[in-house]
Amino acid sequence: PYWDWAADSDIPASVSAQTITVKIPDRAQKTGSGWHTISNPLHDWKLPTLNAQQFPTSDKNDGYMANYHFTVRQPQSTASDAASRNDIANTALSRLNLKGNIYSLMTSGASFYQFASQVNPGISLEAIHGNVHVAVGGNGHMTQLSYAAFDPIFFLH
């Protein structure tokens, strides 16, 4: 699986759906094979209790993240049961002009360092990539460096 956010900036349905229907083979269950609806493993990840030394709740930048019991995208609160708002993430992504920025970057003739990193002002691959993190995450996991890889969408982007 791979999400080309420059070609289609909307969060894929395979990620935004809370449940998915999968076919389970005979030997995996007692009731025989068939289609079953399950929680979508790409929608969110249920967080275990995090090590407070590695993820301190007192951290002024991302301490609030410890409130969540599962990964969230663009949550509207820091309540432990806050829901992901993929609609808000999609709006934020659509405002980034990702396809245009990638085209400009690829045709700019920039040096490798200008192309790859945020050392100089202007468009860079790292800046575009970081903007996707912020647009998807909002105040959720994808925005925070310490937490981004907990969100299943991290591995698709």
- Angle at CA 77, nearest 5°, toward 75 and 79? 110
CB 114 within 8 A of CB 122: yes
Give the pLDDT mean for 101-112: 89
Higher pLDDT, residue 25 or 67? 67
Flag whether pLDDT at 88 surpasses 80: yes
Rounded to two decimals, the pTM is 0.86
Alpha-carbon distance of 126 to 113, in angstroms, equals 10
Flag whether pLDDT at 32 surpasses 80: no
List Cβ<8 Å contacts ≥24 apart for 18-22. 18/43
Predicted confidence band of residue 34 (pLDDT cuts 50, 70, 90): confident
